Structure 1
Amino acid sequence: MTRWSEEIAQSFHSGECGHWLPFLPEGVRIYAVGDVHGRADLMDRLFHKIDHDLAKRPIVRPICVFLGDYVDRGPKSCDVIDSLIRRGSEREFVFLRGNHEAVAIRSLTDVAIFENWMRRLGGLETLVSYGIEPKKVLSESGVAELQLVFRERLPDAHLRFLNGLQSSFSCGKVFFAHAGVKPGVALSRQSERDLLWIRDEFLSSTLNFEKLVVHGHTPVQRIDMRSNRINIDTGAFVTGHLTCLIVDREGLSVLATG
């Protein structure tokens, strides 16, 4: 058991999330993975840990839930999506949309959004991962041409993957979203913008959200476990710590890189 698994277990047994029991239906286990941000190396290491855990503890229905933000900032966004597409054909996966995927998709058809994505949100690293030389294209032809090159280099399978991402996922008494939920609004009526972008209003809330919310989006040094939510974005692209929260019917544990 990792240090974080021990801390999660202590928090759980102290009653932090115990009122949500049982978390899941019989025979289901969920492996929820936080923001990857182009760190294909960490994701591959985490997959190895998940596979090892499943080999030791088989279960009828394992589900891998990825919370979004697969691209940008880290160096291997293209490889991350390739790997997720391949893995998604092997067992049950749920891929959620992060705000970075939403912006990347919009950048394909809006030059202003493309430039903002590239210069401020880590899109530059994503372009490089697709074999593009942004500085060269910009110096020779400009932003509009670079946007066109990106549209041409993005494989159809990657575009289908990005367009097919879900806004949220619910199972048993657990609700998964990239950023969180708007307090006071039923989970069934959450807007996509809040699911992908919300921060302070959600993070500071002590309200009961109907279900335990597992989310990412806001990087933390260590898993942030509250009575109504758990944040598992541990800033992988900077820290080297990519985190997976394991949700079993009667408990919680953690797998992590680093």
Structure 2
Amino acid sequence: MRTYAIGDIHGHLDKLEAAHRLIAEDRARVGDAAAPVVHIGDLVDRGPDSRGVLDFLLHGQASGAPWVVLRGNHDRMFAEFLNDPDSHDPGLRVSLHWVSRNLGGAATLASYGIENIDERLLFDLHREASARVPGRHAAFLRALPNSYRRGRTVFVHAGIRPGIPLEEQREDDLLWIRGEFLDDPRDHGALVVHGHTPVDVATHYGNRLNIDTGAGYGRALTAVVIEGDRVWRLGADGRTEIVPTC
């Protein structure tokens, strides 16, 4: 059972297109046009073209591509801002807001042509965003699923709370969890493929696979292919197996 997956995109359309080219090349080698591609969330923020990323994903799904797109915490923050400029995601410190420069919301608004973000009130930004962000983008963000399961592999943005069945997981954990999940060595009953916490290279820890390699911080966007219990990173030279570290 073959599944492709792409890490946190963070508004980098060029890197996303390059990842899909690598997947297309691998498909051609193995002769499989039907295997799904799972995008692990954090589609927007920090990078220069969040709008382009959403257009690319919407067009691919509308064209019938077997693409699964999951919700990340940044995607939820964007959707919540479009609904209410005073919204504050429970995963954020009280002192932060989605439009804060270090979170990347300002870059997302700029991709829609919204200017002078630091000098304006949230109400004004929201009013312009409501006019400039296409309704199909807002609807797409609101409808994103939090998880996807295929065989013995579970895909989520941040991770899961250990010991809790997948169907009982809280959205806040699926989008934000770190330490309690990252530090837990137990078998979760499936390989958990996730992003959210950047690593230098995609890393297989035995019970989980982290594929966020820091595209939002100017580093690489990683694409992988999973077949049964084996995982490979896709690159210009084809497949490189990712061997579990434990």
Aligned-partner Cα distance in 2 for 1:214–1:182: 14
Q: Which residue, 125, 134, 143 being the options, matches 2:116?
A: 134
TM-score (norm 1): 0.83
Which residue identity does 1:123 align to in structure 2?
A: G
Distance 1:250 1:217, change over 3 A: closer
* Alpha-carbon distance in structure 2 between the residues aligned to 1:256 and 1:144: 44
How large is the Cα RMSD of the aligned pairs?
A: 1.7
Aligned to 2:46: 73
Relative distance call for 1:241 and 1:70 in structure 2 (3 A) is same
Tell whether 2:37 aligns with 1:64: yes
Q: CA deviation at 1:60?
A: 6.0
The farther-off stretch of 226-235 and 239-248 is 239-248
Give the secondary structure class of the aligned counterpart of 1:247: strand
Structure 2 length-normalised TM: 0.87
Q: Write out per-residue CA displacement over residues 211-232 of structure 1, whole angstroms, 9 at most, x where no aligned residue.
A: 1100000011111211100100
Matched, 1:118 2:92: no
Deviations 1:48-100 (A, max 9, x none): 11111111211263101000000000111000001111112232111100000
Of 204, 216, 241 in structure 1, the residue corresponding to residue 220 of structure 2 is 241
Is 1:102 aligned to residue 76 of structure 2? yes
Tell me if structure 1 keeps the 8 A contact 2:82–2:138: no
- 1:154-233 alignment, distance < 5 Å: 154-233=133-212
> Relative to structure 2, which stretch is displaced further, 107-116 or 153-162?
107-116
The answer to which structure, 1 or 2, has the higher relative contact order (CA under 8 A, 6+ apart) is 1
Tell me how far 1:135 sits from its aligned partner: 3.7
1:34-73 equivalence runs, <5 A: 34-59=7-32, 61-73=34-46
**Aligned mates of 2:17, 2:177 — CA distance in 1:** 29
Cα-to-partner distance string for 1:105-146 (whole Å, 9 max, x where unaligned): 1112333337810014210000100011134861xxx22111
**Per-residue displacement from partner, 1:160-193 (whole Å, max 9, x unpaired)?**
2111211100000000000000011112211111
Q: Are the equivalent residues in 1 in contact too, given 2:27–2:33 (CA < 8 A)?
A: no
Give the distance between the partners of 1:60 and 1:109, measured in 2 at CA. 37
1:85 to 58, 64, 67: 58
More helix by share: 1
Residues 45 and 198 from structure 1, CA distance in 2 versus in 1: closer, same or farther, beyond 3 angstroms?
Answer: same
Matched residues in 2 for 1:194 and 1:135: separation?
A: 30
Match of 1:12 in 2: none
Change (3 A) 1:256 1:146: farther
Gaps of 5+ in 2: 89-95, 237-246
Larger radius of gyration, structure 1 or 2?
Answer: 1
Partner of 2:241: none
Q: Secondary structure at the match of 1:112?
A: coil
